[in-house]
C-alpha cells in the first residue's frame, strides 16, 4: 500500500533552527526524532528540500532599503508576465547557497532520503512551495519536485518539516491542487508564528485546499 506514497521533508536546515539559525523557528530542531521515525517507514519515495538562495535574493529585507525583516511586505512581479504578482514577507538573509546556514541539520538522518532538491535559487522570485513560484509560467529552472513525484507514480504525499506556515503550507496546498492526496503531519512541523490564531488560520487555509492535517499517531501512517 506504500507503493504510491511519498514523504517530503521540507527545509530542515540550520538557518531555520535554534540556536544559531538566522531565521530560527522556535523548537525547530525538536521535530528531528519525529522526522527520523517517519524515514523508517516504507515510503516509495523520500524527498528532502532545501531553501537555497543566492546572496542577493529578493526575499531578504537587506535588499530593500528601509525594510524590516518579518514585518515588511514586498510585491514581486512575475519576470514572465507583469500582470502576475506575489506579495510576500521579507526575511533576514537565510539559507544562502554554500553557507552553513543552508545545510540540512545534523540530527536529520538525511542519508535515508532518496533525493535532495533545492528551491528558491532564482533571486527574482520567492518560492515557498517545492513545486515552484506561484506564477502560471515558471520563470526559472524548477526544483524538479513535481516531475520526480510524477515519475515515481506517486499519488499520495505526506509533508513535514519547516516551516508549517510557509514552505510546508504552500507545498501542501500546491500538492492538493495538483491532485495528490495530501497530508501534513502537524507534530512533525513547527511554525514561524506559533500563536493559536495563526496556526488555526494555516490549518484552515490548507483544509480549504483539500489538505488533511494529521498527527504521528494517525491510522494513515499504519497502512
- The residues annotated as belonging to the active site are 11, 119, 167
Give me the least distance between CB of 173 and ligand VGL, in Å please.
13
Size of residue set near ligand VGL by CB under 6 A: 8
Shorter beta-carbon distance to ligand VGL: residue 138 or 161: 161
Q: How far is CA 24 from CA 19, 43, 55, 214, in A?
A: 7, 29, 18, 24
Q: Does 163 bind ligand VGL (CB under 6 A)?
A: yes
H-type alpha helices, the chain: 32-39, 145-151, 169-177, 196-208
Q: Does 51 bind Zn ion (CB under 5 A)?
A: yes
Q: How many residues are recorded in the chain?
A: 223
Q: Does 11 bind ligand VGL (CB under 6 A)?
A: yes
Cα-based torsion angle of the residue sequence 127, 129, 131, 137 in order, rounded to the nearest 10 degrees: -40
Alpha carbon distance 163, 97 (integer Å): 19
Q: Name the one residue in this structure whose C-alpha cell is 515515481.
A: 152
Q: Does 162 bind ligand VGL (CB under 6 A)?
A: yes
Q: Which of residues 118-147 bind ligand VGL (CB under 6 A)?
A: 128
Give me the least distance between CB of 222 and ligand VGL, in Å please.
28
Stretch that binds ligand VGL, among 61-69, 136-144, 158-166, 193-201 (CB under 6 A): 158-166
Give me the least distance between CB of 35 and ligand VGL, in Å please.
14
CB distance 6 to 175 below 8 Å: no
Give the residue, chosen from 12, 52, 60, 91, that forms a contact with ligand VGL under the rule CB under 6 A.
Answer: 91
What is the DSSP secondary structure assignment for residue 104, as one 8-state letter?
B
Give the residue, chosen from 9, 12, 43, 51, that forms a contact with ligand VGL under the rule CB under 6 A.
Answer: 51
CB distance 99 to 156 below 8 Å: no
Question: Residue 163 touches which of ligand VGL, Zn ion, none (CB < 5 to 8 A by kind)?
Answer: ligand VGL
Pick from 169, 149, 144, 119: which is nearest to 13 by CA?
119
- Residue ranges in contact with ligand VGL by CB under 6 A: 11, 51, 91, 128, 162-163, 166-167
- Residue ranges in contact with Zn ion by CB under 5 A: 51
Amino acid at each position: 500500500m506504500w507503493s504510491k506514497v511519498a514523504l517530503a521533508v521540507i527545509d530542515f536546515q540550520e538557518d531555520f533552527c535554534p540556536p544559531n539559525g538566522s531565521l530560527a523557528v522556535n523548537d525547530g530542531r525538536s521535530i528531528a526524532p519525529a522526522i527520523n521515525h517517519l524515514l523508517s517507514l516504507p515510503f516509495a519515495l523520500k524527498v528532502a528540500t532545501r531553501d537555497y538562495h543566492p546572496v542577493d535574493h529578493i526575499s531578504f529585507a537587506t535588499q530593500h532599503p528601509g525594510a524590516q525583516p518579518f514585518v515588511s511586505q514586498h510585491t514581486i512581479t512575475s519576470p514572465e508576465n507583469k500582470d502576475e504578482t506575489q506579495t510576500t514577507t521579507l526575511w533576514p538573509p537565510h539559507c544562502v547557497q554554500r553557507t552553513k546556514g543552508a545545510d540540512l541539520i545534523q540530527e536529520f538522518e538525511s542519508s535515508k532520503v532518496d533525493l535532495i532538491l533545492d528551491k528558491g535559487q532564482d533571486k527574482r522570485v520567492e518560492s515557498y512551495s517545492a513545486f515552484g513560484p506561484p506564477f502560471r509560467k515558471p520563470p526559472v529552472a524548477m526544483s524538479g519536485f513535481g516531475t520526480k513525484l510524477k515519475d515515481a507514480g506517486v499519488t499520495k504525499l505526506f509533508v513535514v518539516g519547516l516551516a508549517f506556515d510557509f514552505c510546508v503550507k504552500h507545498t501542501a496546498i500546491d500538492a492538493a491542487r495538483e491532485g495528490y492526496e495530501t497530508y501534513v503531519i502537524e507534530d512533525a512541523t513547527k511554525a514561524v508564528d506559533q500563536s493559536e490564531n495563526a496556526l488555526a488560520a494555516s490549518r484552515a487555509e490548507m483544509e480549504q485546499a483539500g489538505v488533511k492535517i494529521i498527527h504521528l499517531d494517525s491510522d494513515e501512517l499504519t497502512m
